[in-house]
Structure 1
Amino acid sequence: MLLPILILNSLLLALSLLNSLTLRRPVKSAQVEDSILVLLPVRDEESNIERVLGELLGQENCSNLSIFLLNDNSSDRTRHIAENFASPRLKILDVPEPAKGWIGKVNALEYGLSRVKTAHDYIISIDADVSFSKNAIADSIATIKALNLDFISPYPRQIAKMWGERLIQPLLQWSWMSTLFLRGAEKYPFQSTVVCNGQFLVMKYSSLIAAGGFASVASYVLDDIELGRAFVKSGFKGAVIDGSEIAATRMYSSFTEIKQGYGKSLHLAFGGFIGTLIASILIIATSIAPLIFAFTGDLIALAALFAIIGTRLVSALSSGSKLRDCFLHPFSAALLIYLLYYSWR
């Protein structure tokens, strides 16, 4: 039983190494002249809004950048703080209540898109809790142009401080680094191999409109993944790129927030309960069973354990996460399974 697990984990390690060596990274840009619109949906983001607007308005090498701040019924000081930024490049829009069946964030993004009066070259959607380097926007635009793609997803570095975060957050990038051949998915896109992160998403305006805009994913909780699939379904191509040097985010600051966040959507990631069950079996087999059998002195189990930890180390080196946390991977896997079934409650 353990030999097939060793073979599988070794293949995952080989794929992780291949992806690490070929992972797309941002192209350095001197100056970008393209017309760029940033859509920033916010709801009760008073702790982030001053920082993120300062970073966006301070972007370098992109002179034709404008920002729509989409105030999605904030009940705190978000709008008041934003109004202190007197910039002609910033427009504050109050988003109406979503129609029945629409997800709030998607409604805000579609509303912002509907208020565009002149076509832009690129649309960028971001989350307020993401921090950006001074060249993040320009480098991202230079990258999508150099690759001749319709959308790219610069994956931010995931900041994790507390133990719950450190066990779970690195699994986000590891999940696609170790299971998808990224260059293959880029060249021959399928809806099932889309990697798309709405925290920082760069899109050709014309391609977004042709794919149906944000309205095409109006009711989806995993709206970013589904938007990527809408692009692919419409014949467009995209890619995930390493965004760890140009963007960073801390999604959650407590285990309660982790449960709330993953509880809303994790069960949807595997396409239903059967998919969840299959994923659970694979996670147990590749990530937990090797540790259990390694305690019996089984050398094959030990090798399988080293191989799966190796995939985490490769992912951590690519994403800038803590290397020492990789050695706790079996416990990360156990926590992931707990959250997966918690999301079905």
Structure 2
Amino acid sequence: MSAIAWIAAVSLAAWGFLLLGQGFFWRTDQRLPPREAPSPWPSVAVVVPARDEAEMLPVSLPSLLAQDYPGRAEIFLVDDSSTDGTGALARELADRFGGLPLTVVSPPEPESGWTGKLWALRHGIELAREDGPDYLLLTDADIAHEPDSLRELVAAARTNGLDLVSQMARLRVTTAWERLIVPAFVYFFAQLYPFRRVNKPGARTAAAAGGCVLLRTETAERARIPDSIRQAVIDDVSLARAVRAAGGRIWLGLAERVDSVRPYPALSDLWRMVARSAYAQLLHNPLLLIGTVAGLAVVYLAPPAGVYAGLSGGDTPAGLLGGAAWAVMAGTYVPVLRYYRQSLWLAPLLPFTALLYLLMTVDSAFRHYRGRGAAWKGRTYARPEAAPER
């Protein structure tokens, strides 16, 4: 066989493993586990870090204020040095809509060794703990919740003895670029952190989705959250690992009634979203970057290359092997497309989407070595070192 045929054969073998041996990552059936209403309902503090979120708050904050929760619950919004009136707007929305009580706090700029979001969460959690809540709901300022969201999260945690319950919010999919890239973001995340493995007690795999995390307060204190992860760029995965290391039980799944309202209309918007943390995912390790690029090329790009070699060059083995690998690849993508209610014709385009993610990952490394690192709303975490112990 030709070299491209052998590479296509390796790709097909890899897809055989991914299909059956990677925790069935491609399935979308990990939703909130069976639950019953607890009696009495535990108390909850909702902590929302917000930096320049005046555009998002009119959509997201009223959904939190309107939570239909039978127990005691209150909201703490941390205005993280915003310049667009985020804090004032939050108070105005609370006055207008009523609902759960809202407290707005404005901490100073982050101390050295902290990322901005975790610094904001630290202040929000400290304020929330004064009232001794049983649970903390950590949710981003661009996340909208259905009225029963908090109730269902708490019931799931209480019924199943979970210390952390996290739902991956359904991201916005409206523009052509969002349709091409956003479902793949969830697909690739699940491939790295198969939800079934995350949810298996005692498993080594740990992950969470930072936009919606319900956390038992006692466990957060035992795991020293957020101090123990204060310099983490990928804070949600670090949070889950800290909770599991402290003996906590974690659960991660797809949301049905929790949505991200942040738009990413252009390719450049999506590119920045991925590139700001992709190299951090690889621990800023050049060897891991090289291995990832090679792996993506073999797994995602070799199948269409094999088909092309078969059609244009008469390389029948390459064409057949590449076509088989491409078919398995597209088939594993179908459940995520259905979850996002997108056309299944996007499934064969996954190699092109993977190429974009490959380029975003390489660009993330370039940004890091140029000192631009994980940039977000005016802050840059260029070359993070190990967080110093206090």
TM-score, normalised with respect to structure 1: 0.91
Maintained 8 Å contact 1:9/1:308: yes
Residues 257 and 279 (structure 1 numbering): CA distance in 2 closer, same or farther, change over 3 Å? same
Going from structure 1 to structure 2, the CA distance change for 1:194 and 1:249 (only over 3 Å counts) comes to farther
What does residue range 148-187 of structure 1 map to in structure 2 within 5 Å?
A: 148-178=161-191, 180-187=193-200
Partner residue in 2 for 1:146: 159
2:122 to 79, 101, 110: 110
Partner residue in 2 for 1:72? 80
Query: Identity of paired residues, percent?
Result: 24
Match of 2:253 in 1: 241
Query: How far is the alpha carbon of 1:181 from its aligned partner?
Result: 4.7
Mark the CA change 1:261 to 1:40 in structure 2 (over 3 Å): closer, same or farther.
same
* Match in the other structure for 2:52: 44
1:3 is the counterpart of 2:9: yes
Contact preservation (8 Å) 2:56, 2:262: no
Which of residues 117, 133, 145 in structure 2 aligns to 1:132? 145
Rounded to whole Å, the distance in 2 between the matches of 1:208 and 1:319 is 32
Give the CA deviation at 1:68: 0.1
Equivalent in 205, 228, 236 of residue 240 of structure 2: 228
Select between 253-262 and 138-147 the one with higher mean Cα deviation.
Answer: 253-262
Look up the equivalent residue of 2:258 and give its one-letter code.
I
Shift, 1:14, TM fit: 3.4
CA distance in 2, matches of 1:236, 1:319: 31
Residue 22 (structure 1) shift: 5.1
How far apart in 2 are the matches of 1:327 and 1:250?
Answer: 27
Q: RMSD of the alignment, in Å?
A: 2.3
1:213 equivalent in alignment to 2:221: no
Classify 1:16/1:323 alpha carbon distance in 2 versus 1 (closer, same or farther; 3 Å).
Answer: farther
User: SS of 1:287's equivalent?
Assistant: helix
C-alpha change, 1:29 and 1:35, in structure 2 (3 Å) is same
Q: Deviations over 1:131-168 (max 9, x none)?
A: 21121111111122233221121011121333433332
Cα distance in structure 2, aligned partners of 1:146 and 1:295: 53
Change (3 A) 1:214 1:314: same
Q: CA-to-partner distance for each residue in 1:26-85, whole Å, 9 max, x for gaps?
A: 556668821011101111111111222210111124442210011111111222221221
* One-letter amino acid matched to 2:17: L
**1-side partners of 2:17 and 2:257: how far apart?**
28
Distance 1:95 1:253, change over 3 A: farther
- Structure label with greater radius of gyration: 2
Separation of aligned partners in 2, 1:44 and 1:118: 28
> Structure 1 stretch 129-138 or stretch 34-43: which is displaced more?
129-138
Q: Pairwise mapping of residues 11-26 of structure 1 onto structure 2 (< 5 A)?
A: 11-14=17-20, 18-19=24-25, 20=27, 23-25=30-32
- SS of the residue corresponding to residue 213 of structure 1 reads coil
Q: For residues 281 and 22 of structure 1, what CA distance do their matches in structure 2 show?
A: 31
Unaligned runs of 5+ in 1: none
Say if 1:130 and 1:249, in contact at 8 Å, map to a contact too: yes
What's the secondary structure of 2:326's corresponding residue? helix
Q: Which residue of 2 aligns with 1:122?
A: 135
Contact 2:76 2:105 in 1 (8 A): yes
Against the structure 1 CA distance between its residues 218 and 110, is the aligned structure 2 distance closer, same or farther, given a 3 Å change threshold?
A: same
Letter aligned with residue 13 of structure 1: L
SS in 1 for 2:130: coil
Pick closer, same or farther for the CA change 1:62–1:257 going to 2, 3 Å: farther
Unaligned runs of 5+ in 2: 1-5, 311-318, 367-390
Tell me which residue corresponds to 1:199: 211
Structure 1 residue 263, shift from structure 2 partner: 2.4
Amino acid at match of 1:230: A
State the match for 2:316 in structure 1.
none
Stretch deviating more after TM superposition (47-56 or 7-16): 7-16
Query: Which residue in 1 is equivalent to 2:345?
Result: 324
